[in-house]
Amino acid sequence: MSATPDTHPASPIVEVRNLCLTAAGHEAPLLVDSVSFNINAGETFALMGASGSGKSLTAMAVMNLLPSGIVQEKGDIVLHRGAPALIMQNPGDCFDHLFTVRHTFRETFRDTGCVPRKREEAAMRLRLREVGFARPEAVLPLHPFELSGGMLHRVMIALALARKSQCIIADEPISSLDLPGKARILRLLKNLQARHGFALLYIDHDLTTAACMADRIAVMQDGRIVEQGEANALLHGPAHVCTKELLHAFKTSRIPTLQAIPEKERKPEPQNTVVPDTAVKNAQSGRKVLLECQGLHKSYGACRWRGNAGYEVLRGISLRLYQGESLAIMGRNGAGKSTLFRMLLGLEKPDSGSVSVMGEDISLLETHKKGWRKHMQTVFQDSRGAVNPRLTVGDIIMEPLLVHKENATAQKKRIEELLSLVKLPLSFKNKYPGQLSGGQLQRVCIARALAPKPDVLLLDEALTDLDAVVRAQLQDLLENLKMNLGLSLLYVSHDMASVFRLCDRVVVLDQGRIVDEFLPGQHMSAQRHQSFGSLLEAAAGLAAGYPLTV
């Protein structure tokens, strides 16, 4: 394997030759340096690397969509059969939510001129059926905000097919989905590729999915391709240290066993309550309760005068988080995790039930006066969306200190302590979010959350968008913080490997109910609920890294 492009007897759909990108007006190192590769019809070429390695910039250059201030210094990009189509990471941000799916399709057809107006409706329905919608006529009049994340991903793939492009670029297309959703979208892409024969440029930082998808893999570091070759050869005999690090992170992300739970041995339909087994009860005994919710119910869309009871999202949720404990909440998309998370933060009120922090009901006015939020802080999934880009790192960390009225001398000292705690240089306090990588910015968010010295840290998919190497580093950091500061963690995640590593107890949500509760070492028990079984099966399939077959 080498850093030069592989030769292939088929004529390429995309050729990138000696591509160099730089920031306009700056004498800075090249952002993308001498990148060369080609992609053939029907082939999947995976571009891998850590955050900030230049993967997405390379894809944007191929799409001719470079951000403002980034210029192509030299190199050639040859597209032999027209412009490629693009599947983005967060489809919810890519749609105009004022327009229906039908209107979005119509814009695509008229922009490309690939379908006559009289045949537009039939073409829309055909593409939606191809991506798995049994009743496309029911989807076309809907707005994007009326669709789930998985449905939006499928609509975006259908729009890419509607352009009749011979190349599709998929830039981290599954990072926001649950495990079964990830497996479903990956298999859908492979099936469509086999049917239509398009070239696929697949970009990700996770070798797990590349191992399933790719025919060839290129690994980027600091803007350069440091290694590329056939997927099987590269995964079994990496030459560059960067590839070895990614492969090590890939192997450590595997769950302890790849055995799927037999369907006949899974629990029956969800029950209203779950009684923890003896091991869970023993783990909880003698500990102080820091966070508790009892009998939470929540419905959306209820309308009394129309006689509409609405959709019940939470159905009698009760759980406790104990001092020094790490509790994971797992479940498929739509299980009610995000709604529960917002209620625990006091951002949304339940229809019935209560939430208590340090023994105080957060719905009571007197509790708000006592500043209960100081005891509980949050780290969100999207670190860039969680900070003000116009503030420096020091100002970002200072925000909770100002809210809780720390004096100026204490603020400066605390900021330095926190940067040291999350292993960032003190010089970072004068930098802006745009100057930091995703992993560095998430460390800043963790430092901000720790500023008021909370007892409970709530993590909402906080490691999902990070590459495997950075994710492992932040797992080490959270473990150390928990041990040294005595923190309790409540971790909402789809990532089974990080859940089993970080957490002492796992709770599974399905259809708004807690349907299972167990310790991490008990995940392979035949007593696990079928909803967790489906998550485990999907995680096992992805972690195995077996190529997807059509």
Q: Encode pLDDT of 30-75 as tens digits.
A: 889 999 999 999 999 999 887 778 888 898 899 888 888 888 888 9
Beta bridge partners of 199: 167
Nearest to 207 by CA among 220, 188, 192: 220
Positions of the chain with pLDDT under 50: 1-9, 257-275, 550
* Domain contains 549: no
How far, in Å, CA of 154 to CA of 205, rounded?
A: 21
User: Based on the domain organization, do 205 and 314 belong to the same domain?
Assistant: no
- Residues 6 or more apart from 1 whose CB is under 8 A from it? 227, 228, 229, 233, 234, 237, 238, 239
* pLDDT computed for residue 502 by the predictor: 87
How far, in Å, CA of 14 to CA of 372, rounded?
A: 56
User: Based on the domain organization, do 210 and 71 belong to the same domain?
Assistant: yes
Number of domains observed in the structure of the chain: 2
How far, in Å, CA of 304 to CA of 130, rounded?
A: 39
* Domain contains 7: no
* pLDDT computed for residue 489 by the predictor: 93
CATH of the domain at 519: 3.40.50.300
* Domain contains 48: yes
User: Based on the domain organization, do 360 and 213 belong to the same domain?
Assistant: no
* pLDDT computed for residue 291 by the predictor: 92
User: Based on the domain organization, do 244 and 330 belong to the same domain?
Assistant: no
Last residue of a domain, one of 187, 222, 252: 252
User: Based on the domain organization, do 235 and 315 belong to the same domain?
Assistant: no
> In which residue are the tokens 């800075």 written?
28
Provide the domain limits for residue 355.
Answer: 290-301+308-544
User: Based on the domain organization, do 17 and 146 belong to the same domain?
Assistant: yes
* Domain contains 4: no
User: Based on the domain organization, do 297 and 242 belong to the same domain?
Assistant: no
Q: Are strands 289-300 and 216-221 parallel, antiparallel or unpaired?
A: unpaired
Beta bridge partners of 48: 204, 219
Q: For residue range 476-514, list pLDDT tens digits in order.
A: 888 888 888 888 999 998 778 788 888 999 999 988 899
Instruction: Kindly list the strands in the beta sheet with 32-40, ordered across the sheet, starting from the edge strand earlier in the chain.
Output: 32-40, 12-23, 70-79
User: Any idea of the CA torsion for 495, 496, 497, 499, to the nearest 10 degrees?
Assistant: 90
User: Based on the domain organization, do 231 and 296 belong to the same domain?
Assistant: no
User: Based on the domain organization, do 121 and 183 belong to the same domain?
Assistant: yes
* Domain contains 278: no
User: Based on the domain organization, do 248 and 294 belong to the same domain?
Assistant: no
Q: Which residue type, as a one-letter code, is found at position 128?
A: L
* pLDDT computed for residue 1 by the predictor: 47
Burial 418-437 (b: 16+ CB within 10 A, else e): bbebbebeeebbebebeebb
User: Based on the domain organization, do 184 and 328 belong to the same domain?
Assistant: no
